Chain A
Amino acid sequence: MYKLLSVITILYFSLFSAQVIAGDDGKLKVNGNNNGYIEVKDCFEKVNRGIFSFNQVLDKAIFKPLAKGYRMFPQPIRSGTSNALTNIGNVVTIPNNLLQGQFKDAGINSARLVINSTLGIGGIFDVASYYGLKKRDKEDYGQTFGVWGAGPGCYFVLPILGPTTVRDSLGSIVNIVGGDAWYNVTIANDTQYFSEFDYYASRVLDGIDFRAKNLESFDSLEKNSVDLYASVRSLYLQDRYRKIRNIDKTTETLSDDDWEELDTQ
């Protein structure tokens, strides 16, 4: 708990000062006139592009073939796997619901976790939805920092893990210093019920499940992009912006600023 508090305190100061520095250089618009949309600076673009290419090679050699293989399993198996992974993810979502003041969602997610872990046999079956407790959006510590007002900091690409920002990667660090109960019972603490393998297997499966759900979208993006790196960066940042704002309606996410002056009729 002490570690968690320390991390949160350090993050609070580092990200707010990062916002000031970013604003001073005049290149990064923070809370500019673009409907609050934050334009994030790609601080190490050349290095990032190199890592992105490396990740692309890994994807083609390992993750894409694995995702294709995973796709060959019958739909009920894939749905069960996806449900179980979502169920595990709730142990990170619930504290973040609380930290963001989403008490109703925290209650629903807690009930879903209990019901699906027991009646749903380890989360394989989404029994909670049957009882009217519908699935909620995932939340993580990066999103929570964003909700608290922390700027994203620089955008960068991590080997294997892919796109992130300073804020989001620091959010991931919170997971391994006590913020993720699943990590705590598998890796941080030596319990007789789970092993390290369980944690890593769940993380890899999560990645493969995501990749399998998006095989065609990724192929299409790759085929039609003239700068794939820039496309992925844009999609990642748009997605994080939307998630941090916890908004679901397009009318609230998109700015008309650029469109307004374009009259073609």
Chain B
Amino acid sequence: MKLFRNFVFFLFLFNFNNISLAKDPSALINEIVDEAASILSSEDPVESKIIKLNAIAERSVDIDGIGMYTLGKFRKTVDEEQKSKYQKLFKSYFLKSFSSRLVDYTNPRINVISQKKINEKYTIVNSILEATSKRPQVKIDWRIYTKNPDRPLIRDLIVEGLSLARTQKEEFNSIIQNNDGDINALFKTLEEFLIK
């Protein structure tokens, strides 16, 4: 009987843990939006804000996945050494441009409206960035990678129907293509951006 009770208890614990670990994509967005808003509206120095924003990005964005996506057709031609160099450079580039885009906002108000599961791997979360006296309301959709439901990750931001990942991919591909397919040209451009 005691064994049975322990078994039920462990079963309950196991299920409870499963429930608590699986994260709803909308909850992920709500969580990071609230956290980012609190950082941006704080009196912290800009450098401190950037460090905190980058920590959010490293935790909730699939930076490696986006990096490989943005290489487009060229990801099939890079060797392991180039891939490793690219991933390091891309991560630094992504974090710099991510925090630089956000740090100009003082108190962005984003409301999550709905979400739609496309397939096992992806859910789109729909949200609205509220209007201010300077700009109209902006529709922002988030592509969430949910292959591991316990750790959903952001893979793309779609602002008014325009995909930032796609834009980034076409930008990088343009650089490589205009340099006769040489990926080193992209490395050089990213390095220059990082020391700017």
A residues bordering B, Cβ < 8 Å? Answer: 45, 71, 75, 213-217, 219-220, 223-227, 229-231, 233-235, 238-239, 242, 247-248, 250-251, 253-254, 256, 258-260, 262-265
Contact = CB atoms under 8 A, between A and B. Distances in A.
Q: Name the interface size band of chain B.
A: 35 or more
Given A213-B135, A216-B134, A227-B175, A265 B148 contact: yes
Contacts of B155: 259
Which of the listed residues B136, B153, B162 has the most CB atoms from chain A within 10 Å of its own CB? B162
Interface of B: 62, 64-65, 68-69, 72, 93, 97, 100-101, 104, 116, 118-119, 121-122, 124, 126, 133-136, 141, 143, 145, 147-148, 151, 153, 155-156, 158, 161-163, 166-167, 169-175, 178, 189-190, 193
A225 B163 contact: no
Contact of B136 (A213, A219, A260): A213
B97 A250 contact: no
Contacts of B122: 256, 259
A244 B56 CA distance: 36
Binding site of B, secondary structure by majority: helix, strand, loop or mixed? mixed
18 contacts: A215-B134, A226-B190, A227-B171, A229-B174, A230-B173, A230-B174, A231-B170, A238-B166, A239-B162, A250-B141, A253-B161, A254-B158, A256-B119, A256-B121, A260-B121, A262-B68, A265-B151, A265-B153
Contact of B170 (A214, A234, A248, A253): A234
B118 A238 contact: no
Given A71-B134, A75-B133, A264-B64, A251 B167 contact: no
Nearest to B160: A239
B69 A230 contact: no
A97 to B, nearest CB: 20
Given A226-B171, A242-B161, A264-B153, 16 more contacts: A45-B178, A75-B133, A213-B135, A226-B172, A227-B171, A233-B174, A247-B161, A250-B126, A251-B118, A253-B158, A254-B156, A254-B163, A258-B72, A262-B68, A262-B69, A264-B145
